[in-house]
Amino acid sequence: MELYMKNYEKWVNDSFIDEKTKKELEEIKDNKSEIEDRFYQDLEFGTAGLRGKIGAGTNRMNEYVIARATQAFANVINKHGEDFAKRGIAIAYDCRLFSPEFAKQTALVMAANGIKAYLFESLRPTPELSYAVRYYNCSAGVNITASHNPKDYNGYKAYWQEGSQIKSDIANMILEEISKIESFSEVSIMGENEALKKGLLEYIGKEVDDSYINEVKGVSIRDKELDKSIKIIYTPLNGAGNIPVRRVLSEMGYENVFVVKEQEQPDGTFPTIEYPNPEDLKAFEYAEKLADEVDGELLIATDPDCDRLAVQIRHNGKITPLNGNQTGVILINYILSSLKEKNRIPENPVIVKSIVTGDMGTAIAKDYGVEMINVLTGFKNICALPNEYDKTKEKNFIMGYEESIGYAIGTFVRDKDAVSASLMLAEAAAFYKAQNKTLIDVLNDLFEKYGYYQENTISLVLEGIEGQKRIKRMMEQYREKYPNNIGSSNLMKKIDYEIQISTDISSGKESKIDIEKTDALKFLFDDGCWYALRPSGTEPKIKLYVYSKANTLELAQEKLKEFEKDVLEKLHSIE
Ligand SMILES: O=P(O)(O)OC[C@H]1O[C@H](O)[C@H](O)[C@@H](O)[C@@H]1O
């Protein structure tokens, strides 16, 4: 019998599985491919923890998968010693379907294992969970969210004591523990009343909110100097951002904030959009309408767990989107120029970005004497650096960012934070408005100064086992065969992160790179253009990142198109 069939049978016959779940499984008994998709593997810890479609099965998000993962997580915490475990775990959740249920399940399994759970009383943004881990000096944290994935998904982001998401060391320990749990009877769970009575469950909220919001307000650099009348349109996309983002903007004196009514209240069915990812321009449809009604100048959207921020600007009457790299360079430029003016750039300053984030930020940072460090995709990797500097005091982390619209300013949160990024961006927009400039004008000034950088991220969605196999073939074939010239650009260097080798194309010389292993490829050309390929760690996609650089906008755009066309044609031809 196939392994997936064995797993299916095991669930159907397990006395711990409830009748409703069994009924759901019974209904697919004649659908082999559905059974295979639900049971061919366990959900894996990817870029941001466990993430999968909601439903019954080992490859799905449900209370059993959560309970087993949590038992394993509890085992790992307990193995770190009694004093460590005693510090407890902070747990939050977002607006998604079953998020509150999964969060409570997590808390009660932790409680049964002697680990006190600090559980948020209602939904909160991801950055606040990171903050809570630090606030309560917990040993770990969990946030139930699938971030920006479609509505049929949920997820489990796991955090360690510093307040950042676990890296492969802890993830591997949890996976090992998961593999040892053969039956659900090995998972301990405590009743809610008992957990409350024993002090192993505590509901949290206002106290952490106030402290977190206070810290967020502290990121402001110019506060009182600014005219804050700029008209801001905000959409939380029916997620966790509504309360904190509005509170921060309002308490900081931004009075003209207009919230998209249809997307204001938390709703895991996301009734107005198919894909609650603010990277997708469709997410702005309602915000744009509202902006036209009230003459909005700055449009901001946060994703369901409010760790990502997308931005659009009214420029010359037209609403124009900024991509994640562009918002990143605007923030870098605003923060560094303002800090410099006030003589506040710390010693040994660093900004951290991922290997697939653009180079324009590096050029600006360099101009201010700030080092740019590149790490693998994922804020767990970005925030690993401030965690390290806590101990070594070697460098000072100013901010971290990624092209995928994630920003972390300062160190009070160790994950990306759309609440503080919203405030900083509003502040930048207000500051430049007083000089009669929109953020698009600012970007154009930066292009003039640092060169024209253009970029695009293209995702090919390939679902299910077949999709996964095709992504693998695409990566394998690209590893072997790739173009040496695209238009007038000549390939100079190839980096294969899987084998951690960088190859100089003309000499064939290979050198080892000092970065962790991951399935990604990067091709760098002699004129500053480059592209990279990697399978997404959060969604069933392969991602192509294309970057061009030239002395004029037209040329940079032309090169970008050439690169896109060339690579996409090759990818599509791989069956
Ligand atoms: O490219 P992916 O693996 O799908 O990851 C996309 C994004 O997912 C999460 O939001 C991570 O926190 C980000 O750091 C990452 O950039």
pLDDT digits (tens, 9 = 90+) for 399-415: 999 999 999 999 999 99
**Does residue 575 register a pLDDT over 90?**
no
Euclidean distance between CA atoms 271 and 221, whole angstroms: 37
Token pair 């510090």 is found at 87
Nearest to 251 by CA among 222, 225, 215, 213: 213
Q: Which one is predicted more confidently, 163 or 537?
A: 163
Which one of the listed residues 99, 147, 354, 422 is annotated catalytic?
147
Q: Measured from the CA of 538, which atom of ligand 1 is nearest?
A: 4
- Cα–ligand 1 centroid distance for 378 (angstroms): 5
Nearest to 378 by CA among 397, 353, 349, 344: 353
Q: In this prediction, what percent of the chain has a pLDDT beyond 70? A: 100
Q: Which region holds residue 18: left if phi is over 0, alpha if psi is between -120 and 50, else beta? A: beta
Among 50, 277, 404, name the best residue to mutate to test ligand 1's pocket (greatest count of ligand atoms within 8 A of Cβ): 404
pLDDT grade, residue 49 (50/70/90)? Answer: confident
Ligand 1 in reach of 147 Cβ (< 6 A): yes
**Residues 121-132: tens digit of each pLDDT:** 999 999 999 999
- For the segment 95-109, the average pLDDT, to the nearest whole number, is 97
Work out the mean pLDDT of the chain and round it to a whole number: 96
pLDDT grade, residue 114 (50/70/90)? Answer: very high
Euclidean distance between CA atoms 506 and 217, whole angstroms: 51
Element (DSSP H or E) covering residue 409: strand 406-409
Which token pair is 35? 């059974």
The residue contributing the CA closest to ligand 1 atom 15 is 378
- Cα–ligand 1 centroid distance for 15 (angstroms): 37
Task: Tell me, letter by letter, the H, E, C secondary structure of 523-567.
Answer: EEECCCCEEEEEECCCCCEEEEEEEEEECCHHHHHHHHHHHHHHH
**Residues 305-333: tens digit of each pLDDT:** 999 999 999 999 999 999 999 999 999 99
Distances (CA, A) of 11 to 73, 452, 464, 540: 22, 56, 21, 25
Question: Tell me, what's the pLDDT at 182?
Answer: 87
**Does residue 538 register a pLDDT over 90?**
no
pLDDT grade, residue 334 (50/70/90)? Answer: very high
Q: Which CATH class is domain 452-573?
A: alpha beta
Among 47, 145, 541, name the best residue to mutate to test ligand 1's pocket (greatest count of ligand atoms within 8 A of Cβ): 47
**Does residue 47 register a pLDDT over 80?**
no
Ligand 1 in reach of 414 Cβ (< 6 A): no
**May I ask the CATH architecture of the domain 231-450?**
3-Layer(aba) Sandwich (3.40)
Instruction: Indicate the CATH number for domain 41-211.
Output: 3.40.120.10
pLDDT grade, residue 44 (50/70/90)? Answer: confident
CA atoms within 13 A on the CB side of 108: 18
Ligand 1 in reach of 49 Cβ (< 6 A): no
* pTM, to two decimals: 0.95
Among 145, 352, 379, 415, name the best residue to mutate to test ligand 1's pocket (greatest count of ligand atoms within 8 A of Cβ): 379
Examine the residue annotation and report whether 147 is marked as an active-site residue of this protein: yes
Ligand 1 in reach of 157 Cβ (< 6 A): no
Question: Tell me, what's the pLDDT at 387?
Answer: 97
Distances (CA, A) of 107 to 102, 116, 259: 9, 8, 33
- Which residues have C-beta within 8 Å of that of residue 314, sequence separation ≥ 6? 291, 295, 296, 297, 298, 299, 320, 438
CB atoms near residue 6 (< 10 Å): 10
Distances (CA, A) of 339 to 36, 288, 334, 445, 547: 55, 33, 8, 19, 29
- Cα–ligand 1 centroid distance for 147 (angstroms): 9
The residue contributing the CA closest to ligand 1 atom 1 is 536
Q: Measured from the CA of 378, which atom of ligand 1 is nearest?
A: 14
- Cα–ligand 1 centroid distance for 148 (angstroms): 10
Domain range annotation of the chain: 41-211, 231-450, 452-573
Ligand 1 in reach of 48 Cβ (< 6 A): yes
**Does residue 172 register a pLDDT over 80?**
yes
Could you check whether 41-211 and 231-450 share the same CATH topology?
Answer: yes
- Cα–ligand 1 centroid distance for 538 (angstroms): 6
Where do runs of H (alpha helix) occur along 153-237?
168-180, 192-197, 206-217
**Does residue 539 register a pLDDT over 90?**
no
> ipTM value of the model?
0.97
